[in-house]
Amino acid sequence: MEFDQTWLTSEVVERSIGGKSFYFDDLPEENEVSLRLRSEILGWGRARITSDKEDAEIILRVRPGVLATDESYRLESSEGVISVIGNTSRGILYGFYSMVRRMINHQGLNFESTPSQPIRMIDHWDQIDGTIERGYAGESLFFGQYGKNSNPDRKEFSVRDVVGDPFRRDYQRVEFYARMLSSIGINAVSLNNVNVRGLATFLITDPLLDGVADIAQIFTSFGIKTYLAINWEAPKRIKQIKTSDPLDQEVRDFWKEIARNIYNRIPDFGGFVVKADSEGEPGPYQYKRTHADGANMLAEAVEPYGGHIFWRTFVYNSRQDWRDRSTDRAKASSENFLPLDGQFKENVSLQIKFGPIDFQTSEPLTPLFGGLKRTNQVMEFQITAEYLGHQIDINYIVPQWKKVISFDTKYRDVGDSVASCILKEHAIDPEKTGFTSVGNVGMDYNWTGNKLSQANLYGYGRLSWDNELTPEEILDEWINQTFLSIQPKYRKTIYEIMITSNETYKKYNAPLGIGFMVVPSSHYGVSVNGYEYDRWGTYHFADRNGVGVDRSVATGTGFSGLYSDEVARMYEDPATTPDDVLLFFHHVPYTHVLQSGETVIQHIYNTHFDGYEGVLDYIKKWSTLEGVIDEIDYSNVARRLQLQKQNALEWRDQINTYFYRMSGIADEHNRTIYE
């Protein structure tokens, strides 16, 4: 194998089944998923497969209608026989992986589980030339080795320009990836970047559809549906229709024909992901139509085949004049989509980023969650670490996600969080709700650039399946499975680094919920004013008196008024706004005292010194693993820690100096702050 076998190593499988034999009971022969499962176990190879019932140790049983959903499973263990039970072979698939995982983690084998979220999806931002937008782990698994003469970025692309084959066709790698995903419960993937340009526009048509169909077939056999992101102007680009107006009959017929052709080739195709009227992408606004008009038109086209549309709410004015303070990017998705509540068809889900800005280190919950009452919604995360250290800096993100899905929106007294009820209760079809996330894998040997970033993919899947799991439990599982053969004390070292890593990164980053102090465009490294006078938005408003964005109703942009009364009251007042989003909601003096008891300025100094020290501590801890873990893994992380140290130092000094110059207030502890 030319790639790391992640948490699904043959060692893992061998240990967990202890060389015992299997047989299969009642799996319907014609079912593709069960066939895959069968051959997969064969593929892992260390177990002896036999149909001799005398030898049986593990029995896979399909029992239609016994469990809550077709993805649910039950494990039963008695007298040395383990049964994996599901309504369908999909349930069995998840049950089998769970059995392996639970054996390794000594968790007991009488257990039943139903996923918390029906949709558990990964969005790839892979481009047809093999690169990945915001990808930090090498090239795309799906695309690459592009024909020489074609130019994917040419504006007016015609299918005649397809020279060569844009697909990588490394099916061994795709199959392993599909197995990784299904082992953590992922059931949907979108293959291509949401910014759909050039040749990628043509993925929905022949001849490129062939390559999509090959990939989809692999995913299907692991219970995963394949989606494509589309270009809103496809009718113009593909068929030279004069308009992309969603109410135009020719346009509607175009999409129906596209859907018919796709489903002909890929009967269980998932549907489309759409980024429209966003960051320069075309959309229905151009024709004075609403996002509901646009989404519903596409929904109608895929409806006869059970297809589904993910319509992104990441719509904001990205051509602002920084002098004009009348717009607030945080309010934009609510302004665009709240008025449309109840207007979307049953097979449309709004895809909403968890925070109102953009995957920052610290953001409040997007107020559309809870605000929308009659709309299918999926929450969007970013596993790829765009603003979180590019998979150079160690950053186990699950604690941040857990916090956001557990946030109580206080619309009622029952603890309304995204995890507990909001998505399901505010949907018109509860099956069309769940989580989606930008993925973080690429062709790198270890899939994720930094080996430890695998834990974010693993954790995203596990948390999506079971919202009750804690970040601590998930991390424990991943470390146990990934570093199976090392002594517990070494596993503990890895755990200690990772469980604090999100907090450490946050400490040396933009303080107290400001966000966006990153180098423009690349988004790695510090640039205090990089975006401050920029068309993409203004984020910190630091001056000699204080810092932060006033989003209160009384004196600011009014954003805090978008929440339920109780939450809005909390955010309206600096005294009750939680520290980690204080500067997201308020412009306060540097001497403002936080709930922690520190002043804002002293908090900035303290966290930035601490964050850097934290990285030094990681370096020390990681060095104790030399010779203990695999050399490739050891040096992979050791090298990245040196870069992280440099990054943390740069953040520390630029942020501290900037705020020292602004405030003129010295550090209480007299540490070195450059002038």
- The catalytic residues are 279, 358, 386
**Contact indicator for 229, 190 with CB cutoff of 8 Å:** yes
In the complex with ligand BDP, the residue whose CB is nearer, 194 or 266, is: 194
**Contact indicator for 122, 439 with CB cutoff of 8 Å:** yes
Residue 279 Cβ, how far from ligand BDP at the closest point, in Å? 6
Q: Answer yes or no whether residue 133 interacts with ligand BDP by CB under 6 A.
A: yes
Length of the chain: 675
Q: Answer yes or no whether residue 134 interacts with ligand BDP by CB under 6 A.
A: yes
d(CA 624, CA 641): 14
CA-CA-CA-CA dihedral for 115, 117, 120, 125, to nearest 10: -160
In the complex with ligand BDP, the residue whose CB is nearer, 299 or 518, is: 518
Q: Answer yes or no whether residue 314 interacts with ligand BDP by CB under 6 A.
A: yes
Q: Answer yes or no whether residue 194 interacts with ligand BDP by CB under 6 A.
A: yes
**Contact indicator for 24, 38 with CB cutoff of 8 Å:** yes
Residues 6+ apart with CB under 8 A from 176: 3, 5, 8
Site residues (CB under 6 A) for ligand BDP, limited to 48-77:
none
Q: What is the DSSP string of 585-652?
A: H--EETTPBPTTSSBHHHHHHHHHHHHHHHHHHHHHHHHTTTTTS-HHHHHHHHHHHHHHHHHHHHHH
- Of 528, 476, 509, the closest CA to residue 659 belongs to 528
From residue 415, give the alpha-carbon distance in Å to each of 420, 465, 565, 569, 609.
Answer: 8, 20, 14, 17, 37
Site residues (CB under 6 A) for ligand BDP, limited to 256-275:
275
Q: What is the DSSP string of 417-471?
A: -IIIIIHHHT-SSGGG-EEEEE----SSTTSSSSGGGHHHHHHHHHHHH-TT--H
The distance between the two most distant Cα atoms of the chain, rounded to a whole number of Å, is 80
- Of 545, 523, 544, the closest CA to residue 534 belongs to 523
Phi and psi at 130, nearest 5°, equal 100, -15
In the complex with ligand BDP, the residue whose CB is nearer, 310 or 314, is: 314
Structure tokens at 49: 């497969």
Query: DSSP label at 561?
Result: G
In the complex with ligand BDP, the residue whose CB is nearer, 460 or 622, is: 460
Residue of closest CB approach to ligand BDP: 358
- At residue 236, the 3 state secondary structure works out as helix
Q: Answer yes or no whether residue 358 interacts with ligand BDP by CB under 6 A.
A: yes
Residue 356 Cβ, how far from ligand BDP at the closest point, in Å? 13
Residue 281 Cβ, how far from ligand BDP at the closest point, in Å? 8
In the complex with ligand BDP, the residue whose CB is nearer, 95 or 530, is: 530
Per residue, what are the HEC states of 358-410? Answer: CCCCCCCCCCHHHHCCCCCEEEEEECCCCCCCCCCCCCCCHHHHHHHHHCCCC
Site residues (CB under 6 A) for ligand BDP, limited to 276-295:
279
Residue 135 Cβ, how far from ligand BDP at the closest point, in Å? 10
In the complex with ligand BDP, the residue whose CB is nearer, 88 or 351, is: 351
Residue 123 Cβ, how far from ligand BDP at the closest point, in Å? 9
**Contact indicator for 252, 246 with CB cutoff of 8 Å:** yes
Residue 388 Cβ, how far from ligand BDP at the closest point, in Å? 11
d(CA 335, CA 58): 54
Residue 358 Cβ, how far from ligand BDP at the closest point, in Å? 5
Q: Answer yes or no whether residue 195 interacts with ligand BDP by CB under 6 A.
A: yes
In the complex with ligand BDP, the residue whose CB is nearer, 195 or 317, is: 195
Residue 583 Cβ, how far from ligand BDP at the closest point, in Å? 20
Residue 310 Cβ, how far from ligand BDP at the closest point, in Å? 12
Structure tokens at 68: 């809550």
Phi and psi at 564, nearest 5°, equal -60, 160
Per residue, what are the HEC states of 35-84? Answer: HHHHHHHHHHCCCCECCCHHHCCEEEEECCCCCCCCCCEEEEEECCEEEE
- At residue 271, the 3 state secondary structure works out as strand
User: Residue count at the site for ligand BDP (CB under 6 A)?
Assistant: 10
Can you count the helices (H) and strands (E) in the chain? 19, 15
d(CA 87, CA 70): 5
In the complex with ligand BDP, the residue whose CB is nearer, 179 or 540, is: 540
d(CA 654, CA 650): 6
In the complex with ligand BDP, the residue whose CB is nearer, 360 or 482, is: 360
Residue 436 Cβ, how far from ligand BDP at the closest point, in Å? 11
Site residues (CB under 6 A) for ligand BDP, limited to 427-446:
none
In the complex with ligand BDP, the residue whose CB is nearer, 134 or 451, is: 134
Applying CB under 6 A, which residues contact ligand BDP?
A: 133-134, 194-195, 275, 279, 314, 358-359, 386
